[in-house]
Structure 1
Amino acid sequence: MTSPLKRKHELSVMNVFISRLKKAAEGKGKRFIGVPLDGQDAWLGADCFMTEGSRFAIAEFKYEESDIRSEKKKRRRLAMCKALRGDMTRLSEHLACHLIAWSIPDEKRTIVLNGYAHEVCNAQIWGEQNGLDDKAYPDPRYEDQLFIDEFLSGNMGLTFEDFEAYISWLSDFEDSGTGSIELLIENPNEDAIGALEFTSLGKLKVWMDNNPPRPTPPRSSSSSGPSFGP
């Protein structure tokens, strides 16, 4: 199905996905943080950071699948792909926490995710001269709802310690990489407009551990709407 939209809506795809994930987390009594990485995407290779407190991940977002090819403009990603090729332990960690996502223009536009390397680290993107696999690995692709369920169940993403180590590893491919992530998030404990600043992942983790989500108040058995019963 061809989309009637004429422009790229990469940011909107990210916002839709993060909104769905946040609602699902709140339904399970969890606090979800999903925020853009702003200019840090250059060395992280991802647009968005996400966590529900115990699992951590980053994701690059594209509007549609054909836009994945634009990653070949980012030479740092080629260095990462080559390094992953010879390190199966790091590759396993990468596939669990470093994702790429895009939308499919069917009747109700859906979002699909896969490990970044499974879609980008191949000869179709970078050419045959780099010694990468011939083509993408589509088999482990997740539709958005399946990924959300797996992430909130602890089956995707990395623990804090492993994720922090992975981010430090990513910084090796960037001269100005700091090895840590800065985050600016909405303060979920305030009704008024407010923001919290974190200069490292560790500080965010401490804050989340010390600020668990408030219990959801039970629904009232009474209803103010019309009654259709006897």
Structure 2
Amino acid sequence: MTRTSPTFFRHMEDALIVEFSKKADRRFRELHGAGKAQPYLVGSALCGQDKALADYLFAAGGRFALIEFKANAEQLKTEGAKPQRVRLLADCIGDSARLARSRAIHHAAWGESAQLDLPGLGAQTQQELVLGHYVDRVGTALGLAVPKLRTVRWSDDAFIARWLENTIAGANIQRFKRYLTELYELVGTDGVAGLADFQGLITVYVPAGERRAQFQTITFNSFEHLLALTIHYTPQRAPEQSAPTAGRAPRRDNDGPQYER
């Protein structure tokens, strides 16, 4: 296996997913370890579902996101070899509403090398993870003209904090469901059938009962199952109540720390 082979890059992507998951889980437990609320964290690799959707599902506080992981920024160009992704980009560029949904939900993550000086060892290469909006980052990598281009980027720590410590990032459950349906249809799968087969893992805090209080990881096996779990484990309100009420303008999302323009 060479350092330029697809297998090598896939292994690097898998390693980045594992590291991101560990950081998200650790921060989640730091925030909610006392169990004062009944929160949840969805941090799940989507495995065989990545062809239609993305590599990873991330959700907390009634807000949902998909993340596509790449070994480095150059690998963002490989999305251009996927017909369904080319169609997605074209649809988003041509439809402002779909572009807004994608920016709220769909993100790209890639590794960047940085120099780290270690005592006794000198300069070492450190791998850092950076995230940005999928359409903007992949579209730019492929030379596409993305309307009102957003170049905001987050470190993995900033991205995780943005999700776990506020409620304005991402999209609510209805918007997320619509975007999933659109992604399924791009690969020729009926949206209803795709949602019925949507699977992943959710970490929840289970109060003391027959066993001591602790965090548990539960498998969800459909979109409706995920919806039921997130409603049950959202302390203040159900995810579907996050949608703006009639007659009120939706609150604009603050993209958070911007490392470049």
Same fold (TM over 0.5): yes
CA offset digits 1:133-161 (Å, max 9, x no partner):
18995721111122122222123211111
CA distance change for structure 1 residues 89 and 182 in 2, over 3 Å: closer, same or farther? same
Change (3 A) 1:134 1:151: closer
**DSSP 3-state at the match of 1:13:** helix
What is the DSSP-based 3-state SS (H/G/I as helix, E as strand, rest coil) of the residue aligned with 1:176?
A: coil
Letter of the 1:61 partner, please give it. F
In the alignment, is the contact (CA less than 8 A) between 1:26 and 1:32 conserved in 2? no
2:107 aligned with 1:99: yes
* Bigger relative CO (Cα 8 Å, ≥ 6 apart): 2
Which of 24-33 and 182-191 deviates more? Answer: 182-191
Give secondary structure in 1 for the equivalent of 2:169: coil
Structure 2 residue corresponding to 1:185, chosen from 175, 198, 201: 201
Q: Distance in 2 between matches of 1:136 and 1:120?
A: 14
Q: Give ranges in structure 2 of 5+ residues lacking alignment.
A: 33-38, 117-125, 236-261
Count of residues in Structure 1 that have an aligned counterpart in Structure 2: 201
Pairs within 5 Å for 1:104-115: 104-106=112-114, 107=116, 108-115=126-133
Measured in 2, the distance between the counterparts of 1:206 and 1:52 equals 14
Could you say which residue in structure 1 is the equivalent of 2:48? 39
1:161 to 1:135, Cα distance in 2 relative to 1, 3 A: closer
Q: Using the alignment, how far apart are the partners of 2:176 and 2:146 within structure 1?
A: 28
AA partner of residue 182 (structure 2)? W
Instruction: Please state whether the residue corresponding to 2:40 is helix, strand or coil.
Output: coil
Residue 220 (structure 2) aligned to one of 186, 198, 202: 198
Are the counterparts in 2 of residues 121 and 136 from structure 1 also a CA contact under 8 Å? no
Q: For the structure 1 residues 135 and 89, does the alpha-carbon distance in structure 2 shift closer, same or farther, using more than 3 Å as the test? A: closer
Contact persistence 2:88–2:186 (CA under 8 A): yes
Does the aligned pair in 1 maintain the 2:58–2:64 contact within 8 Å?
yes
* Equivalent residues of 1:49, 1:59 under 8 A apart: yes
Write the distance in 2 (CA, Å) between the matches of 1:187 and 1:32.
5
- Identify which of 14, 25, 29 aligns with 2:28: 25
| Alpha-carbon contact 1:56-1:160 (below 8 Å) kept | yes
Q: Higher strand proportion, which one?
A: 2
CA distance in 2: counterparts of 1:198 and 1:103, whole angstroms? 29
What SS does the corresponding residue of 1:172 show, helix, strand or coil? helix
Cα deviation digits, residues 172-201 of structure 1 (max 9, x gap)? 21113534252242775589xx97442322
* Residue of structure 2 aligned with 1:48, choices 31, 37, 56: 56
Give % identity: 24
Cα distance, 1:101 vs structure 2: 0.1
Give the counterpart letter for 1:142 in structure 2.
W
The answer to whether the 8 Å contact 1:34/1:48 transfers is yes
